[in-house]
Amino acid sequence: MPAHHHDNSDLTKNQALVYDTLNAADGPLSAYTILDQLREAGFRAPLQVYRALERLQALGLVHRLESLNAFVACSHPSCEEDGTVAFAICETCGRVFEFTDAELKSRLGAWAKTTGFRPQKTTIEMRGICAECKAA
Amino acid sequence: MPAHHHDNSDLTKNQALVYDTLNAADGPLSAYTILDQLREAGFRAPLQVYRALERLQALGLVHRLESLNAFVACSHPSCEEDGTVAFAICETCGRVFEFTDAELKSRLGAWAKTTGFRPQKTTIEMRGICAECKAA
DNA sequence: TTACGCAATGTAATGATATTACATATCAAG
DNA sequence: CTTGATATGTAATATCATTACATTGCGTAA
C-alpha cells in the first residue's frame, strides 16, 4: 500500500472520530474543542485527542496551525508528498485557505542549501483579512 | 547595550529589562523563563512580561516564534520596515537564524493579490538541524 | 491453545502558556 | 492641582499540552 491515499479504514476509532470532527468543521478547531465535541462519543481526556492528532498529522491528513494552536483537516490531496504548505487565516471569519507554491518552497530550500541547514518541518502562515470579509 | 535599532531610552523600565534579557540570551526564551530571570529585578507576574513583549514586538525589536511559543530579540536591523521575516530554528542547539528573502515575500504577496487576501502578519519558520549540529 | 508482545486506549495528575479583571502609580498637559 | 492617558502591580483564571502509569485488544510464535 502506498504511503498516501488513506481513507478512514486506515484509521483507528479515535483517529477517525477526530478526523471526522475536523472535516465537519468549517474552520480550525482547538484540541479542547474537539474533545468537547467528542464527549458524547466517549472521549474523556485531552490525551485522546492529542494522540489522534499526532497520527493524523503524520499521515498528512491534518495540519497544525502554529499561530492559532489549532488544527484543520487538510484540504489539499496528498499533502504528505509536498511537505511545504502555506496557510492564509482570516482574522474575521476564521476560515483557513491552504495553498502551495513551488517558488516559495524553492526559495526556502535555496536558503537551507547555502547555509547547510536541514529543514524538517516548515510553517508558513499569513494572518489577515480574506477577500469576502474585506468587501463586507 | 545593543547598538542598533532604537536605544533603550525609548523603552519603559520593564520593556528595557525584557529586551535586555532577550539580547543577553543566545536563543529564544519563553515568557516564563524571562519572568524567572527578572524576579530579582522585581518582576512578579507573567503579565509584566507579556505586556513588555507586546510593545517590543510592535516596535520590531522582538519576534515571537509561533512554533516554539517563545521570543527572540531581532537580529536584523530595521525589522519593523520589512514585516516579512523568516526563521530557521535548530532543534538540536536551539539557535535561531533570522533571514529575509525578497522573492519569498513577493510570492506570498502575489498569492494575496490574486485571492484578495490582505495579510497583516506573516509567520515563516523552518524547524530542522543547523549546519554545525549536522556536522557534529 | 496459551503466552507473549505490541500498539492503542483509558485516566489522573501536572506542567506550560496566556489572558481577564481590577487596583494603583506616574507624569505631562491644561 | 486636577485630569486623562499610559504604565504598572497583583490575583485569579483560562487555555494548551505532556508525563506517568494502568488496561485492553489483537496478531502471532511456541
B3 vs A82 pLDDT, higher one? A82
Contact A14, A52 (CB under 8 A): yes
Distances in Å between the Cα of B91 and the Cα atoms of A118, A121, B27, B64 are: 10, 11, 11, 17
Does a structural domain hold residue B49? yes
pLDDT at B7 over 90: no
Contact B130, B120 (CB under 8 A): no
CATH code of the domain containing A54: 1.10.10.10
% residues pLDDT > 70 (chain A):
90
Does a structural domain hold residue B47? yes
What pLDDT score does A114 carry? Answer: 98
Q: Kindly give the residue spans of alpha helices, DSSP state H, lying in B4-128.
A: 13-24, 31-37, 46-58, 79-82, 102-115
Does a structural domain hold residue B1? no
Does a structural domain hold residue A128? yes
Q: What protein residues sit with their CB closer than 7 Å to strand C?
A: A 12-15, 42-48, 51-52, 55; B 30-33, 45-47, 50, 69-70
pLDDT at A5 over 80: no
Q: Report the alpha-carbon distance of residue A36 to residue A49 in Å, rounded.
A: 10
pLDDT at A78 over 70: no
Which of B86, B66, B54, B8 is CA-nearest to residue B75? B86
pLDDT-derived band at A2, boundaries 50, 70, 90:
very low
Does a structural domain hold residue B97? yes
Does a structural domain hold residue A101? yes
Range of weakest confidence among A38-52, A68-82, B12-26, B66-80: A68-82
Covered bases, chain D (protein CB within 7 Å): 7-12, 15-20
Name every chain A residue with its beta carbon within 8 A of the beta carbon of B86: 108, 111
pLDDT-derived band at A4, boundaries 50, 70, 90:
very low
- Residue B68's identity, in one-letter code, is L
Residue A65 CA and nucleotide D20 C1' are separated, in Å, by 28
Could you tell me the three cell numbers for B110?
A: 502575489
Could you tell me the three cell numbers for A58?
A: 503524520
CB-based contacts of B26: which residues, under 8 Å, 6+ apart?
B95
Does a structural domain hold residue B2? no
Tens of pLDDT, residues B15-25: 999 999 999 99
What pLDDT score does B79 carry? Answer: 74
Q: Report the alpha-carbon distance of residue B71 to residue B23 in Å, rounded.
A: 11
Contact B23, B11 (CB under 8 A): no
Q: In this complex, which of A66, A111, A128 lies closest to B67 when CB atoms are compared?
A: A66
Tens of pLDDT, residues B74-93: 987 767 666 789 999 999 99
How many domains is chain A built from?
1
pLDDT at A109 over 70: yes
Covered bases, chain C (protein CB within 7 Å): 8-13, 16-21
A10 vs A36 pLDDT, higher one? A36
% residues pLDDT > 90 (chain B):
85
Q: Report the alpha-carbon distance of residue A47 to residue A50 in Å, rounded.
A: 5
Does a structural domain hold residue A2? no
pLDDT-derived band at B9, boundaries 50, 70, 90:
low
Domain span at B106 = 8-135
pLDDT at A82 over 80: no
Q: Report the alpha-carbon distance of residue A19 to residue A73 in Å, rounded.
A: 7
pLDDT at B133 over 50: yes
B115 touches chain A (CB under 8 A): yes
- Residue B85's identity, in one-letter code, is V
